[in-house]
C-alpha cells in the first residue's frame, strides 16, 4: 500500500518536521483511516536511505493520516510516496 506525503504537521507559527500528513490511495473517510493506526511506514531518500515511521492518528474526516517519523524529513519529501507495511 502506498501513500503520498502532503505536508508537515504544524500551525502558522510552528512546524514539526518529524510529523507529516499522509494521504493514502483508496482511503477516503475517517473509518477507513482508523484501520491503518499503528502501521509502519518507510520513506526512501534519493540516496537509498530508509526513514521509518508509524501512524499515530487520523487527520480530518477525509482519510488523511498523521505519521511520526524517527527523525525529521526534508522538504523534498513533500509530494513523494511512502510505503505502508
pLDDT per residue as tens digits for the range 57-82: 999 999 999 999 999 999 999 999 99
Residue that is written with C-alpha cell 483508496 in the block: 26
63's CB contacts (< 8 A; 6+ apart) are 23, 24, 27, 28, 29, 30, 32, 33
CA atoms of 12 and 38, how far apart (whole Å): 27
pLDDT of residue 37: 95
CATH number at residue 43: 2.40.10.190
CB environment 9-48: b (16+ within 10 A), e (fewer): beeeeeeeeebbbbbbeebeeeeebeebeeeebebeeeee
Domain residues for the domain of 35 are 2-84
- Lookup: cell for 60: 480530518
Q: What is the pTM of this model?
A: 0.89
CA atoms of 5 and 74, how far apart (whole Å): 11
Q: Is the pLDDT of residue 84 over 90?
A: yes
Residue that is written with C-alpha cell 511520526 in the block: 68
pLDDT per residue as tens digits for the range 20-48: 999 999 999 999 999 999 999 999 999 99
Domains in the chain: how many in total? 1
pLDDT of residue 16: 85
Amino acid at each position: 500500500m502506498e501513500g503520498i506525503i502532503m505536508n508537515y504537521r504544524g500551525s502558522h507559527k510552528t512546524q514539526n518536521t518529524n510529523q507529516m500528513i499522509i494521504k493514502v490511495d483508496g482511503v477516503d473517510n475517517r473509518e477507513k483511516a482508523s484501520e491503518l493506526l499503528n502501521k509502519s511506514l518507510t520513506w526512501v531518500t534519493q540516496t537509498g536511505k530508509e526513514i521509518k515511521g508509524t501512524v499515530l492518528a487520523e487527520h480530518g474526516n477525509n482519510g488523511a493520516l498523521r505519521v511520526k517519523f524517527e527523525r525529521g524529513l526534508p522538504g523534498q519529501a513533500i509530494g513523494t510516496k511512502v510505503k505502508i507495511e
